[in-house]
Amino acid sequence: MKIAILSDIHGNLEALQSIGDAWDELWVLGDLVNYGPNPAEVVDYVRKNGAIVVRGNHDHAVGYGADPQCSPAFRQMARAMQTYTEAVLSDEQKAYLRRLPTTVQKVVDGRRFFLCHATPAEPLFQYGPREEAFWAREAAAVDAEILLVGHTHLPFILNVGAQQVVNPGSAGQPKHGVCAACYAVWDEGTLTLKSQPYDVETTVRKLMGLPIDAGIQDQLAGVLRSGSPPR
């Protein structure tokens, strides 16, 4: 069984398509929408191809017209792009986002997986640092050998006792200085972090054509090109 594990696509169709389809199942750890120019197309792709999809804070915000509670550096960008995203998604697409579960448990190849967007304690909003003590507490609360999380846009694999915590990073808006679509692959019992270059400038050109403030456009383009948060 080969599984592609994605998180934080954020409406970036070019990044999503770059990962390809050489997998048996696609698992998505939330945040299909916001920040990127193609939220409707991303939702449709994930609906068609995702075997497991959990709800992220931006999916929740767009689905319910709520505050995504994102980090301070991104709040202005999130607010502007949420207005755009809510306008272009259909009522049915928003209903799909609302229906997504916040956690999923699954057994594959005899291994127990727990999936959420943020943390088991707070599946939508809590930022989990790459710290063994933090994840030891979180992992102890779930009956699974492998805990799959996203939200921070920072990829890591962390062994915590007999459990493993894996964050694939962000497919559509990485924040660790790599301008590429980040994801993870489960293949015959092994988890590996991957990244795939994509046509960033096509995504940027789309952003520049959106009906949003030019300053917001420039900020979003800078994040994509640098693979880092705004300074």
151 found inside a domain:
no
136 found inside a domain:
no
**Domain encompassing residue 185:** 2-102+167-226
Task: Give 48-86 pLDDT, tens digit per residue.
Answer: 999 999 999 999 999 999 999 998 999 999 999 999 999
Q: How far apart are CA 103 and CA 105, in angstroms?
A: 7
Banded pLDDT at 89 (limits 50, 70, 90): very high
Distance set, CA 187 to CA 1, 205, 226 (Å): 6, 35, 30
Banded pLDDT at 231 (limits 50, 70, 90): confident
Give 42-65 as a 3 state SS string: HHHHHHHHEEEECCCHHHHHHHHC
147 found inside a domain:
no
Q: Is the Cβ–Cβ distance between 62 and 82 less than 8 Å? A: yes
pTM: 0.97
Q: How many domains does the chain have?
A: 1
Largest CA distance in the chain: 51
Closest CA to 120 of 134, 144, 108, 103: 103
Q: What CATH number should be reported for the domain holding residue 43?
A: 3.60.21.10
213 found inside a domain:
yes
User: Could you give the percent of the chain with pLDDT greater than 90?
Assistant: 98
